[in-house]
């Protein structure tokens, strides 16, 4: 064996000795888990486009004291794209025009309870002399969740402390929702039938010389308890 052959042989031995100890190259792959939690989308709507029209009221038909108008019914429907807990709040857009009149002594034309507190009433607008015309209110008649009878619940903080509401006119200080007497009930379709009542100032307080237009206006807002 010459010198060059000895060197080559030695190199081969070294290489063979180190091969089993060399680290293997690792292969890897990554993966992720992703998703989106989509909040419910709920849209409120009223029957008759939310309009309660009393038509023409003759001045001569008004009482000397407060006059109660005949009641009308209106349905509020909240349609959701998935079952959801839905709350409702009411804002009076004519709040500064609520007349301070008593209706308990008026001729009773109401099948439901009359309001006993200012927060249960909404303004009806003003006449040409800037005088408040009266007020109106909303009384719950029936509540249904996904076509099943439900209980109307209310809460003053609108997030917790829900209790069953009574048959009195809705109180603007509260939030309302549908439930099962003990808890709120998720549903895709929420329907609340309301009875609309209104009281006008007496004939002696309203001018017979000008056209007077009732102008009640309110906004219902959906929130998620």
Cα distances (Å, whole numbers) of residue 92 to 86, 123, 129, 209, 220: 20, 7, 21, 29, 9
Tell me: the pLDDT tens digits for 77-108? 999 999 999 999 999 999 999 988 776 444 45
Sequence ranges of the domains in the chain:
42-223
- As a whole number, mean pLDDT of residues 117-136 equals 92
Is the pLDDT higher at 202 or at 174?
174
Cα distances (Å, whole numbers) of residue 15 to 2, 19, 21, 25: 21, 6, 11, 18
Count of Cβ atoms closer than 10 Å to residue 178 Cβ: 26
The pLDDT of residue 155 is 95
219 pairs with which residues across the strands?
A: 91
Place of tokens 């080559």: 8
Tell me: the pLDDT tens digits for 194-213? 999 999 988 888 877 788 88
pTM of model > 0.85:
no
Measured distance CA(126)–CA(120) in Å, rounded? 19
Measured distance CA(70)–CA(61) in Å, rounded? 13
Cα distances (Å, whole numbers) of residue 83 to 79, 150, 185: 9, 15, 9
Does residue 16 surpass a pLDDT of 60?
no
Place of tokens 């989509």: 38
The pLDDT of residue 198 is 93
Measured distance CA(183)–CA(95) in Å, rounded? 31
Domain 42-223 - what CATH class? mainly beta
Does residue 24 surpass a pLDDT of 70?
no
Measured distance CA(62)–CA(65) in Å, rounded? 8
């Amino acid at each position: 064996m010459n010198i060059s052959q000895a060197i080559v042989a030695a190199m081969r031995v070294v290489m063979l000795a180190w091969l089993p100890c060399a680290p293997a190259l690792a292969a890897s792959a990554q993966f992720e888990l992703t998703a989106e939690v989509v909040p419910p989308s709920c849209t409120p709507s009223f029957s008759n486009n939310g309009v309660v029209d009393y038509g023409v009221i003759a001045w001569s038909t008004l009482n000397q004291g407060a006059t109660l108008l005949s009641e009308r019914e209106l349905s509020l429907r909240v349609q959701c794209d998935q079952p959801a807990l839905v709350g409702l709040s009411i804002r009076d857009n004519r709040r500064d025009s609520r007349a301070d009149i008593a209706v308990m002594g008026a001729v009773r034309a109401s099948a439901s309870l009359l309001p006993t507190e200012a927060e249960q009433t909404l303004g009806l607008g003003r006449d040409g002399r800037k005088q408040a015309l009266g007020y109106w209110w909303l009384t719950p008649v029936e509540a249904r969740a996904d076509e099943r009878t439900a209980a109307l619940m209310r809460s003053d903080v609108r997030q917790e402390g829900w209790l069953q509401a009574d048959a009195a006119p809705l109180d603007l200080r509260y939030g309302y929702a549908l439930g099962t007497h003990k808890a709120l009930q998720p549903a895709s379709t929420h329907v609340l039938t309301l009875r609309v009542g209104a009281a006008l100032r007496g004939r002696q307080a309203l001018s017979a010389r000008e056209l007077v237009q009732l102008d009640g206006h309110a906004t219902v807002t959906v929130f998620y308890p």
